[in-house]
């Protein structure tokens, strides 16, 4: 890449002092925006978790008053007993909050913002004001979605996938305003993601430091770059579909209403055309950050760097042609099902390549089990389970049985919690010193890791078992079915485990806040890492570098025989290294 | 508490379960390789400050041969699985897989009940002698191919009979056919598998598999309105 675009930019290290509002609230600093996304999405992670706890109570003890449930209004839980219409709101909003407002902004909003400029050696994002707009649009979207829980009739009742015509017809779902707010919020969130993606793509292409060639990019940046491309192509489809849905609900169009000439399956095609790339939006950044952490913890170069990049790109392409596997039982033409089945099988290959390369990275390493490393290894172990269980549902005849059962719920939580969330716990701990200039307490970090790992598996692994029994998703009371009654014990076990899993997150929460003020001051490069971000003080100043550093090598030169230490930062010049040519104009 | 799949009560349940078992063995093997490998590496290559202090990791950027192996091997396995899946898929769900002599039963799904319509003595649906709209009771003769003519009135529902391993959405505006041959006498449950509103959880029907003679007798009584 030798094109040089002349980029005007704001970050020259010298900044006039700013007031509180400009510095922390309406900030254009990518690091502050990343931190804003962090607080926003951790809040929604908590909300999503609280909703899940209520669902678990109902599944284990159907019809019994929930402890503390009496604070809920009569329209949700009279006498603390959850109503069916409230239960399906919980189902819907748990999924909606976790996917759109917790995991997605945690991965992309936080780490694309925070890491891309720091890791490629840029002063800031290419479009800092668009970046600020992206956060505040997401904030507004979150507010609208949260508000929908409190309007008359409550929130959407159609599941996070809001299948039409249930979602399009208030007379059939029993909720009008809540469902409209869902559509409005998702449209706004789509806008936020589009604004963010434009920024991430442009920044990675244009603002890399001298010497930061494509194949010297850390895998986290590669993954975030491909994720941004997926985002800018997928989110407009979702927003478009959400607007069509809103029109069906408000101005009397009938896109999704069959009696009036609409099509029910149209919604599913639009939703999953977005929704499957979305699945990779929710895992690729986690894969990238885990690669960074795993190489660091193994003190070894990442095994097969180029394969890892091609696997990310391959997933990015294949992710577009698998959406129909969500619709095998939908009435879609079975021949079309066959082709989606094959493409789905094939997408397992790049995932397998990644798992084997992570193992190759650990092989003959010098494994240093700091807290982020523990989470990264757990990510590999749990993602492998989630990936393997995906093969069951990719096989169409087997899917005929396990589709829409708890087997699916187990699978998606192994990928989204065991995968993405473990990676996030690792990433939060890993880059915490860079964000806040403190280190999270490692002892409590390890306790939190082990308890989470234990209760996580106790919660989600038995879901495979009840899924194999045919336990349907999204049902309010499993005891209605005779064939599920022998499994009620399992449901109770899962619920108790889930309560424990939720409770031990308090350790993380306290550690996070306590460390903000009382955490140890880190040395400048606490993990002995090679990334450019560690050449800056903790926390890094607005504008990052006075002069952006030059880059002499890839990001994973651990245990290199060229130096005595077991790490070799990307910007450390050895006598043999030539000065790199300037790649972009964004250099002071 | 049972640890395996439910009882097999349809002609294709053994095929689906066999496929499940095959995938379980293959993925189980991969599971032990990955998790076992991870645990082994965690112990074997952990940093031990006491011994050989300052040891460095093995410096390598990878191995092209290894990349070929672990790209090609999973690719062959999953494409193989895909071909086997496709064979059964076409047999069970293909548009022309419905046996020609299948006995038709109309399934009308609506919030939150199942209405089954049986053909009368002429064996045809849509004629005057139909036994119309039997609520939440699906009776089928043993060993005979049945084709469900599925429709939905309001929102998407999904016919799910775990014992038959049968699942097929019923979609408003679409006419979808699904078939099975019941192979086991007795009662089973039919559930709605697609969220269809607040009563989704109780949208349940009873499936009774009986010998042809008993079925005929039951249908005759149903035609007289003698069942609830």
d(CA A96, CA A182): 9
Number of domains in chain A: 1
Q: Does A249 touch chain B (CB under 8 A)?
A: no
- The answer to whether A115 and A224 have CB atoms below 8 angstroms apart is yes
Band (B132; pLDDT cuts 50, 70, 90): confident
Q: How far is B193 from chain A (nearest CA, A)?
A: 6
Per CB-CB distance under 8 Å, the chain A contacts of B173 are 258-259, 262-264
DSSP string, B107-128: EEEETTEEEEEE--TT--TTST
Range of the domain at A431: 27-535
pLDDT at A147 over 70: yes
CA distances from residue A321 to A269, A337, B87 in whole angstroms, order as listed: 12, 12, 21
d(CA A204, CA B177): 51
In a domain, A551, yes or no: no
User: A398, B38: Cβ pair inside 8 Å?
Assistant: no
- The answer to whether A256 and A264 have CB atoms below 8 angstroms apart is yes
| pLDDT value of position B69 | 96
CA dihedral A253, A256, A261, A265 (to 10 degrees): 160
Which range (A380-384, B2-6, B59-63) has the least confidence?
B2-6
How many Cβ atoms sit within 10 Å of the Cβ of residue B68?
11
d(CA B85, CA B91): 10
Q: Mean pLDDT over residues A405-426, rounded? A: 97
In a domain, A563, yes or no: no
User: A366, B88: Cβ pair inside 8 Å?
Assistant: no
d(CA B118, CA A565): 80
DSSP A420: I
User: B195, A377: Cβ pair inside 8 Å?
Assistant: no
Which range (A284-298, A552-566, A571-585) has the least confidence?
A571-585
pLDDT at A6 over 70: no
User: B42, A300: Cβ pair inside 8 Å?
Assistant: no
Q: How far is A30 from chain B (nearest CA, A)?
A: 32
Secondary structure of A127-195 in HEC code, one letter for each residue: CHHHHHHHHHHHHHHHHHHHHHHHCCCCCCCCCCCCCCCCCCCHHHHCCCHHHHHHHHHHHHHHHHHHH
Band (A187; pLDDT cuts 50, 70, 90): very high
User: A353, B67: Cβ pair inside 8 Å?
Assistant: yes
In a domain, A211, yes or no: yes
Q: Mean pLDDT over residues A267-284, rounded? A: 96
| pLDDT value of position B3 | 84
d(CA A76, CA A86): 5
Task: Using the structure block, give the residue that is written with the tokens 């698998």.
Answer: A322
- The answer to whether A264 and B156 have CB atoms below 8 angstroms apart is yes
State chain A's mean pLDDT as an integer: 94
> What is the end-to-end Cα distance of chain B in Å, rounded?
34
| pLDDT value of position A141 | 98
Domains B13-93 and B103-223 fall in the same CATH topology: no
DSSP B140: E
DSSP B50: S
Assign domain B103-223 to a CATH class: mainly beta
pLDDT at A1 over 50: no
- The answer to whether A34 and A113 have CB atoms below 8 angstroms apart is yes
In a domain, A62, yes or no: yes
Listed by start position, the domains of chain B span 13-93, 103-223
Rg for chain B, CA atoms, rounded: 26
| pLDDT value of position A587 | 45
Please identify among residues 36-95 of chain A the ones whose CB lies closer than 8 Å to any CB of chain B: 83-85, 88, 91
Q: How far is B179 from chain A (nearest CA, A)?
A: 13
Per CB-CB distance under 8 Å, the chain A contacts of B160 are 404, 470, 472
Band (B2; pLDDT cuts 50, 70, 90): confident
Q: Mean pLDDT over residues A254-280, rounded? A: 95
User: A566, B200: Cβ pair inside 8 Å?
Assistant: no
- The answer to whether A351 and B26 have CB atoms below 8 angstroms apart is no
ipTM greater than cut 0.90: yes
DSSP string, A436-457: HSSB--HHHHHHHHHHHHHHHH
Band (B89; pLDDT cuts 50, 70, 90): very high
Per CB-CB distance under 8 Å, the chain A contacts of B6 are 469-470, 483
| pLDDT value of position B228 | 60
- The answer to whether B159 and B168 have CB atoms below 8 angstroms apart is yes
Show Cβ contacts of residue A16 under 8 Å, excluding neighbours closer than 6 positions: none
User: B57, A307: Cβ pair inside 8 Å?
Assistant: no
Per CB-CB distance under 8 Å, the chain A contacts of B197 are 88, 157, 166, 172-174
Summarize pLDDT for B12-68 with one digit per residue, the tens: 999 999 999 999 999 999 999 999 999 999 999 998 876 555 678 999 999 999 999
Find, among A267, A255, A239, A257, the residue nearest to A327 by Cα: A267
In a domain, A117, yes or no: yes
- The answer to whether A586 and A8 have CB atoms below 8 angstroms apart is no
Long-range contacts of A93-96 (CB under 8 A, 24+ apart): A93/A48, A93/A51, A93/A145, A93/A148, A93/A149, A93/A155, A93/A156, A93/A160, A94/A48, A94/A51, A94/A52, A94/A55, A94/A160, A95/A159, A95/A160, A95/A161, A96/A145, A96/A156, A96/A160, A96/A182
Q: How many helices (H) and strands (E) does chain A have?
A: 19, 0
Strands B145-152 vs B176-181: parallel, antiparallel or unpaired: antiparallel
Q: What are the beta bridge partners of residue B138?
A: B207
pLDDT at B207 over 90: yes
Per CB-CB distance under 8 Å, the chain B contacts of A359 are 34, 37-38, 41
Band (A5; pLDDT cuts 50, 70, 90): very low
> Quick check: pTM over 0.90?
yes
What's the CATH code of the domain at A49?
A: 1.20.210.10
Find, among B132, B140, B128, B100, the residue nearest to B116 by Cα: B132
3-state secondary structure of B6: coil
Nearest to B156 among A264, A360, A566 (CB): A264
- The answer to whether A123 and A10 have CB atoms below 8 angstroms apart is yes
Find, among A322, A229, A325, the residue nearest to A281 by Cα: A229
Determine the distance from the C-alpha atom of residue A565 to the mean position of all C-alpha atoms in its chain, rounded to a whole number. Answer: 34
Q: What percent of chain A has pLDDT over 70?
A: 96
The answer for B145, left when phi > 0, alpha when psi is -120 to 50, beta otherwise, is: beta
Q: Does B100 touch chain A (CB under 8 A)?
A: no
DSSP A213: -
| pLDDT value of position A368 | 94
Summarize pLDDT for A341-366 with one digit per residue, the tens: 999 999 999 999 999 999 999 999 99
Summarize pLDDT for A13-43 with one digit per residue, the tens: 445 567 888 888 899 999 999 999 999 999 9
Determine the distance from the C-alpha atom of residue A522 to the mean position of all C-alpha atoms in its chain, rounded to a whole number. Answer: 27
DSSP string, A10-54: S-SS------HIIIIIS---HHHHHHHHHHHHHHHHHHHHHHHHH
DSSP B147: E
Q: Mean pLDDT over residues A263-274, rounded? A: 96
Q: Mean pLDDT over residues A551-573, rounded? A: 94
| pLDDT value of position B51 | 54
| pLDDT value of position A17 | 67
User: B56, A566: Cβ pair inside 8 Å?
Assistant: yes
Per CB-CB distance under 8 Å, the chain A contacts of B75 are 346, 349
Q: What percent of chain A has pLDDT over 90?
A: 92
Q: Mean pLDDT over residues A314-343, rounded? A: 95
pLDDT at A8 over 70: no
Find, among A36, A209, A277, the residue nearest to A138 by Cα: A36
Q: What are phi and psi of A363, to 5 degrees?
A: -60, 125
3-state secondary structure of A475: coil
Find, among A197, A34, A37, the residue nearest to A115 by Cα: A34
| pLDDT value of position B54 | 62
Secondary structure of chain B: what % helix, strand, coil (to 5)? 35, 30, 35
Q: How far is B121 from chain A (nearest CA, A)?
A: 30
Mutation target for B interface from A175, A391, A393: give the one with most B CBs within 10 A: A391
d(CA A216, CA A122): 15
| pLDDT value of position A584 | 54
Angle at A86 between CA A420 and CA A505, to 5 degrees: 35
User: A331, B198: Cβ pair inside 8 Å?
Assistant: no
**B13-93 — its CATH code?**
1.10.287.90
CA distances from residue A465 to A189, A404, A406, A412, B8 in whole angstroms, order as listed: 36, 14, 8, 15, 17
Strands B103-110 vs B145-152: parallel, antiparallel or unpaired: parallel
Nearest to A334 among B75, B93, B197 (CB): B93
d(CA A334, CA B25): 27
Task: Using the structure block, give the residue that is written with the tokens 């070929």.
Answer: B68
In a domain, A260, yes or no: yes
Please identify among residues 113-142 of chain B the ones whose CB lies closer than 8 Å to any CB of chain A: none
Structure token digits, residue B188 = 């089973």
């Amino acid at each position: 890449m030798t094109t040089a675009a002349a980029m005007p930019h704001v970050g020259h290290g010298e900044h006039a002092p700013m007031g509180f509002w400009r510095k922390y609230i309406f900030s254009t600093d990518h690091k502050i925006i990343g931190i804003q996304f962090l607080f926003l999405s951790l809040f929604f992670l908590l909300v999503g978790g609280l909703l899940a706890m209520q669902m678990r109570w109902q599944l284990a003890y159907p019809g019994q008053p929930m402890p503390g449930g009496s604070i809920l209004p009569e329209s949700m839980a009279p006498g603390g007993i959850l109503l069916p219409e409230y239960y399906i709101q919980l189902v819907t909003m748990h999924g909606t909050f976790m996917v759109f407002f917790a995991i997605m902004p945690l991965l992309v909003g936080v780490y694309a913002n925070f890491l891309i400029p720091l890791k490629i050696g840029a002063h800031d994002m290419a479009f800092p004001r668009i970046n600020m707009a992206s956060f505040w649009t997401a904030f507004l979207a979150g507010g609208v979605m949260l508000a929908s829980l409190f309007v008359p009739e409550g929130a959407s009742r159609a599941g996070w996938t809001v299948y039409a015509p249930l979602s399009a017809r208030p007379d059939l779902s029993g909720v009008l305003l809540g469902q409209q707010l869902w559509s409005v919020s998702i449209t706004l969130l789509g806008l936020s993601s589009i604004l963010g993606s434009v920024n991430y793509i442009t920044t990675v292409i244009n603002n890399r430091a001298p010497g930061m060639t494509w194949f010297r990019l850390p895998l986290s940046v590669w993954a975030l770059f491909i994720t941004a491309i997926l985002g800018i192509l997928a989110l407009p489809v979702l927003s478009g579909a959400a607007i069509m849905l809103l029109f069906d609900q408000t101005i009397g169009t009938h896109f999704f209403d069959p009696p009036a000439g609409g099509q029910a399956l149209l919604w599913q095609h639009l939703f999953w055309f977005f929704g499957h790339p979305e699945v990779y939006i929710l895992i690729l950044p986690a894969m990238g950050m885990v690669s960074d952490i795993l190489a660091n913890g193994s003190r070894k170069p990442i095994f097969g760097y180029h394969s890892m990049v091609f696997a990310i790109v391959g997933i990015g392409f294949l992710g577009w042609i698998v959406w129909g596997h969500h619709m095998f039982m939908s009435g879609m033409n079975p021949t079309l099902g066959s082709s989606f089945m094959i493409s789905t099988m094939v997408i397992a290959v790049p995932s397998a390549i990644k798992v084997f390369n992570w193992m190759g990275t650990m092989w003959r390493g010098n494994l240093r089990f700091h807290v982020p490393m523990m989470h990264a290894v757990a990510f590999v172990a749990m993602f492998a389970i989630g990936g393997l269980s995906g093969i069951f549902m990719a096989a169409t005849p087997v899917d005929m049985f396990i589709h829409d059962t708890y087997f699916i719920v187990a699978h998606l939580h192994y990928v989204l919690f065991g995968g993405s969330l473990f990676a996030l716990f690792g990433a939060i701990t890993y880059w915490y010193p860079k964000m806040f200039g403190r280190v999270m307490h490692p002892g409590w970090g390890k306790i939190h890791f082990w308890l989470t790992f234990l209760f996580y598996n106790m919660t989600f692994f038995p879901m495979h078992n009840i899924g194999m029994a045919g336990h349907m998703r999204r049902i309010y009371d499993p005891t209605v079915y005779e064939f599920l009654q022998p499994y009620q014990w399992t449901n109770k076990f899962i619920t108790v485990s889930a309560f424990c899993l939720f409770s031990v997150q308090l350790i993380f929460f306290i550690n996070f806040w306590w460390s903000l003020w009382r955490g140890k001051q880190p040395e400048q490069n606490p993990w002995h890492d090679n990334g450019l971000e560690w050449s800056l003080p903790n926390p890094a100043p607005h504008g990052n570098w006075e002069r952006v550093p030059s880059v002499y090598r890839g990001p994973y030169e651990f245990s290199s025989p060229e130096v005595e230490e077991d790490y070799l930062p990307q910007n450390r010049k050895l006598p043999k290294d030539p000065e790199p040519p300037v790649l972009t104009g964004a250099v002071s | 508490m049972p640890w395996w799949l439910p009882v097999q009560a349809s002609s294709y349940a053994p095929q689906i379960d066999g496929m499940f078992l095959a995938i379980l063995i293959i993925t189980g093997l991969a599971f032990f390789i990955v998790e076992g490998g991870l645990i082994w590496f965690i112990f074997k290559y952990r940093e031990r400050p006491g011994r050989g202090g300052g040891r460095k990791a093995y410096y390598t950027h990878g191995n092209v041969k290894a990349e070929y192996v672990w790209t090609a091997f999973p690719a062959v396995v999953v494409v193989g699985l895909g071909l086997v899946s496709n064979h059964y898929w076409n047999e069970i769900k293909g548009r022309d897989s419905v046996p020609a002599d299948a006995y038709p039963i109309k399934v009308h799904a609506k919030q939150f009940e199942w209405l089954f319509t049986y053909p009368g003595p002429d064996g045809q649906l849509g004629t005057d002698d139909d036994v119309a709209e039997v609520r939440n009771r699906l009776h089928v003769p043993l060993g005979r191919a049945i084709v469900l003519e599925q429709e939905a009135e309001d929102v998407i529902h999904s016919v799910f009979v775990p014992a038959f391993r049968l699942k097929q959405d019923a979609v408003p505006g679409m006419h979808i056919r699904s078939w099975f041959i019941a192979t086991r006498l007795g009662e089973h449950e039919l559930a709605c598998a697609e969220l269809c509103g607040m009563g989704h959880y109780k949208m349940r029907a009873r499936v009774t598999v009986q010998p042809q003679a008993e079925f005929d007798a039951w249908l005759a009584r149903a035609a007289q309105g003698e069942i609830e």
